[in-house]
Amino acid sequence: MAAVPMCPGCRALLSPEEAACPYCGWNVRLTEVRREGGLVERALRPVGGLIPALIGANVLLFVATIVAQKVLLAAAGDREGRGLDGAMDAILSPRAKVLVLLGGNVPADVVRGQAWRLLCPVFLHGGLLHIFVNMMSLRNIGGAVVEAYGAGKALALYLGAGIAGNLASVLWFLWTGNGGNVVRIGASGAIFGLVGMLAALGFRIGGEPGKALWKPMLQSMGIMLVLGFVLNGTGGPILLDNTGHVGGFLFGFAAGWVCTFGIRSRGDLPAVRAWDAIGGLLALFTVAAFVPPALLVAGILSTK
């Protein structure tokens, strides 16, 4: 026997097709949106939600990086890429030339028209420690962003922040002329976009609750910048893209400052659908961005 819908406002029994209660005027459709979420939220619920899905995508691309390095080095006759040592090398520190082939952000190449390098790096990482730190950060703060803004908006702004961070690195190259051929990879620009969103949300909430939100976010940004200056100044093997981090953070802060949040964000059906569409399109663009690298790798292997 099918359940009969009931108005959340006056508890009257309604017909299944009624979007508003004829007795008290309660908008039943908006209640459903607030409870069930938009299309992105419902689609990702079987895998645990947006954040587990993003973590899974990053892990999948990390595994693909390891496999790609093994296959490419074997095809090139590089003995160092074989066996257990070769696998550990790929896991701990994938080679820069492999990351470039897979779509890492090389500013000079982006300027030449390789726009896919603005999206691919968001899901590429330079080793086990790199992806572990980034995924733990995404896990720790991502849920709060989804809760505040909804999954569709969070997805769109996460990918938007990733693009903004990579674009900031390209603009820095155009301004200074430095680092044009240095590959940049990692989800940290997108993650700092989420940090910026929460910082802006804290300022908008205000008071002690708001301070408890924006203060640790700004501290995290400050610590990362200082760490980046120190590591980059030593000239060691670990380098941080401060420009990308700042670009992602500023994008997220601006978005967090102007976007609606909470019940208003989740209850506006046209807005939920619009953000679902934007997030879905950016996700499709991300998938499409990996087509040129895949074709490039396939072309290299076919000539061996």
Average pLDDT of span 70-87: 70
In single-letter form, the type of residue at position 267 comes to: G
pLDDT at 81: 58
**Bridge partner residues of 264 (DSSP):** none
Q: Which residue has the tokens 């893209």?
A: 241
Q: Which residue has the tokens 């940290």?
A: 188
DSSP 138-206: HHHHHHHHHHHH-HHHHHHHHHHHHHHHHHHHHHHHHHH--STT--B--SHHHHHHHHHHHHHHHHHH-
- Residue 15 is a catalytic residue: no
Average pLDDT of span 254-271: 77
* Euclidean distance between CA atoms 156 and 259, whole angstroms: 12
Are 294 and 72 a contacting pair, CB within 8 Å? no
- Residue 245 is a catalytic residue: yes
Q: Which CATH class is domain 49-263+272-284?
A: mainly alpha
Are 117 and 104 a contacting pair, CB within 8 Å? yes
Q: Which residue has the tokens 């074709």?
A: 295
pLDDT-derived band at 1 (thresholds 50, 70, 90) equals very low
pLDDT at 253: 96
pLDDT at 128: 93
Catalytic residue among 125, 130, 169, 245: 245
pLDDT at 79: 65
Catalytic residue among 137, 188, 220, 265: 188
Average pLDDT of span 124-133: 93
**Local structure of 109: helix, strand or coil:** helix
- What dihedral do alpha carbons 210, 214, 215, 219 form, nearest 10°? 170
User: What residues contact 71, with CB distance under 8 A and at least 6 apart?
Assistant: 301
**Local structure of 184: helix, strand or coil:** strand
CA angle 5, 11, 17 (to 5 degrees): 30
**Whether pLDDT at 23 is above 90:** no
Q: Number of helices (H) and strands (E), helices first, in the chain?
A: 14, 0
Half-sphere CA count of 39, side-chain side, radius 13 A: 14
pLDDT at 58: 97
pLDDT at 2: 45
Average pLDDT of span 213-217: 90
Average pLDDT of span 90-96: 85
Report pTM: 0.86
Average pLDDT score over the chain: 85
Percent of the chain exceeding pLDDT 70 equals: 79
